[in-house]
Amino acid sequence: MNWIILIIAGLFEVGFATCLGKAKETSGTTATLWMVGFFISLSISMFLLYKATQTLPIGTAYAVWTGVGAVGTVLVGILYFKEPAEFWRVFFLFTLIASIIGLKFVSN
């Protein structure tokens, strides 16, 4: 169950990174609302990370949390913000995914 909580925490990390990207593109009230979304996503992400570390090793949990967030943020960047999807970028994205899966298999 804590692995699921950890993955959800990573998805909220994607949420706060996305909100930051949108806040940068806007101004006024819209930017403020994106920043509110950023702080809400950040708070939920940190709380869920804290809950997951109650039973998972902190090093593994943090690595998986940042990895899920990094993979998700890159995918959002490619799909939503029209960032480049160059070969090496996608290649290293898949190596990061493989590393996250590997950590799951070698953790207690």
In the chain, the number of structural domains is: 1
pLDDT of residue 68: 95
- How far is Cα 54 from Cα 9, in angstroms, rounded to an integer? 14
pLDDT of residue 94: 94
Contact 15, 43 (CB under 8 A): no
Which range marks the domain in which residue 29 is found? 2-106
Task: Using the predicted structure, report yes or no on whether residue 9 has a pLDDT greater than 80.
Answer: yes
- How far is Cα 97 from Cα 12, in angstroms, rounded to an integer? 17
pLDDT of residue 28: 96
- How far is Cα 52 from Cα 37, in angstroms, rounded to an integer? 22
